[in-house]
Amino acid sequence: MKTVYDFKVRDRQGNEVSLSDYAGKVLLIVNTATGCGFTPHYEPLEEMYRELKDKGFEILDFPCNQFAGQAPGSDDEIHEFCTVKFGTEFPQFAKIDVNGETADPLYAYLATEKPFEGFGKGIKNALLNKFSKMNNKKFGDKAYIKWNFTKFLIDREGKIVSRFEPTVDMKEVRAAVEALL
């Protein structure tokens, strides 16, 4: 059976990294953007990372510009923004596509194993659903990820445990991470 450890990704310098390097750790894999309404998620993500990394926790950050052009910078510009504004220390990889024909194979796998189930209820969620549908029309059946800051929780064996849409409260995400640690 396939796990996230079967995938390779590129770091910010373009070097290939095997996710098997993270074997035995609890992972939170996140597609991010620097100009999104959810960009403040970097703050609780970094806080969680600093407090839990010594217990075997890693956050893997994959910037993506496929949602209304909200991550337009280069890999270095994005990294500088995140480290200066939010003090991020968790691994940030090269910018990728998460949807369409050019979607990174890791994201195609994550999203087909844990498909989108909705943003939840409320006006904010309804608006995001509307924007998401408009944005993702161009990707058709390969619109795997609906918006920035979708999070996938991976257990120590490399299996996908949960998918959290960006509208999920970060306290809920943290509780799920702590339960696996």
Active site residues: 36
The Cβ-side half-sphere exposure at 99, using a 13 Å CA radius, reads 25
CB–CB of 48/129 below 8 Å? no
Q: State how far the Cα of 118 lies from the Cα of 63, in Å rounded to an integer.
A: 22
**CA–CA dist 164, 155 (Å, integer):** 14
Reduce the DSSP state of residue 180 to 3 states and report it. Answer: helix
End-to-end CA distance of the chain: 23
Cβ neighbourhood burial of 159 (10 Å; 0-12, 13-18, 19+) = middle
